[in-house]
Amino acid sequence: MFKRLDPRDINITPFKAYKEFTVTNTDSGSGVYGFRAISSSAHNFNSDTAPKTTFDSASFYQMPTWFMINQMYYRDTVNNFNNFGQNNGKQYRLLHQSASIITVSKDLYDERIKPNSITLTDDSTSATLTIKDDGNGNLYDNAFSSSFAQFASGGFSDSDIRKSTGSFVGNVFYEHGLLVFTNTGSRFVDIGTKTGTDGYSLRYKAQTTIREHSYTCVIGEGEMNSTNNISVTKERSGSISVSGSESWKLFPPGHATAKSGSYKFNYDATNTYNNFVTHSQFQPYVTKVGLYNDFNELIAIGQLSHPIKNDEELALAINVRFDA
């Protein structure tokens, strides 16, 4: 029994969902890499001798990497709107002749890294560093959070750069899963580039969009008061116990495994149903609702927690919801 849904009974609502990840320098095989970027002349560049960082499945050349991030994110030092990345007027960008980078595979952050969710713990120096993001694409040393707050409150003006020493560390580009550490001070120069006990741990939340599908299936008065449940057909109700060579009796008539016996291969329309379902007072119970597309393909099944009686004198509305 089929009924076309009214478009007004279909509602799709998107919402954001977040999942927390923790990755370390040992996760390079999963697409998490930490490496250096250094500016130098591209004249006579030789891939065999050029400085690079090599992992099991990838190599990152320091000089081309610097030119890449400069071209994408830092080239226009006057107007950030001409660069890639978030441009909310609250991100400070300044790229020196070298930088450290941690890149996260898109498989591990989907749409973007959630702002205000990053905590990087780094042991590249004698003191353990804790780096966080401010939600606007800036990375700062948590040990100097008050200094960074003062720097940010001043609108990141050049006159405030001295105040930011030891606080502003670099930038994060949430949509690209990229952390760029531009502070060249000795405290930060090796962030994300060392391994073992000198390695790092990065905790963040990944953002994805989930869409809640809601379908209200309305059964009007007197509609669908019949059943396709095989238990109401003659010689099919009740329990059956078979064994050995008689197991074919478990299959419905017409099935390739079925043979002759007490079950019929074909049912006559006049004697298909047992008598108790043919009178006017018979009212079936709804146990499942199937959703079909325009090609009559079953795409979802809604299983009710308990059977609901389909009263002939009352309309029934069943809401089927799922996330995708």
What are the residue boundaries of the structural domains of the chain, listed by start?
Answer: 14-211, 237-278
Q: Are 210 and 15 in contact (CB under 8 A)?
A: yes
Q: How many helices (H) and strands (E) does the chain have?
A: 3, 15
Predicted pLDDT of residue 161: 47
Kindly give, in sequence order, each residue whose CB lies less than 8 Å from that of residue 234, ignoring residues fewer than 6 positions away: 267, 271, 272, 273, 274
| The pair of three-digit structure tokens given for residue 240, joined into one six-digit string | 């059956």
Our measurement of the distance from residue 176's CA atom to the centroid of its chain's CA atoms, rounded to an integer in Å, reads 15
What pLDDT score was predicted for residue 52? 85
For residue 255, what pLDDT is reported? 56
**Each residue's pLDDT tens digit, 258-287:** 554 444 444 444 456 676 666 667 778 888
Torsion angle of the four alpha carbons 29, 32, 35, 38, in this order, in degrees rounded to the nearest 10: 120
| DSSP sequence for 181-247 | E---STTTTTTTT--GGG-EEEEEEEEEEEEEEEEEEEE-TTTT-S---GGGBTTT-S-----GGGG
The whole-number pLDDT of residue 47 equals 81
**Taking a C-beta distance cutoff of 8 angstroms, is the pair 122, 129 a contact?**
yes
pLDDT in tens, the chain (324 residues): 788 999 999 999 999 999 999 998 887 677 888 899 999 888 788 888 888 888 776 788 889 999 999 999 998 877 777 888 877 778 888 899 999 999 999 999 999 999 999 999 999 888 899 999 999 999 999 988 877 777 677 665 554 544 445 588 999 999 999 999 999 888 888 888 887 788 899 999 999 999 999 999 999 988 887 776 666 766 554 444 455 565 555 555 555 555 544 444 444 444 566 766 666 677 788 889 999 998 989 999 999 999 998 888 889 999 999 998
pLDDT value at residue 261: 46
Residue 125 pLDDT: 83
Distance, CA of 3 to CA of 97 (rounded, Å): 67
And the tokens for 47?
Answer: 């891939």
Residue 90 has phi, psi (to 5 degrees) of -120, 10
- At 159 the pLDDT is 47
137: left (phi over 0), alpha (psi -120 to 50) or beta: left
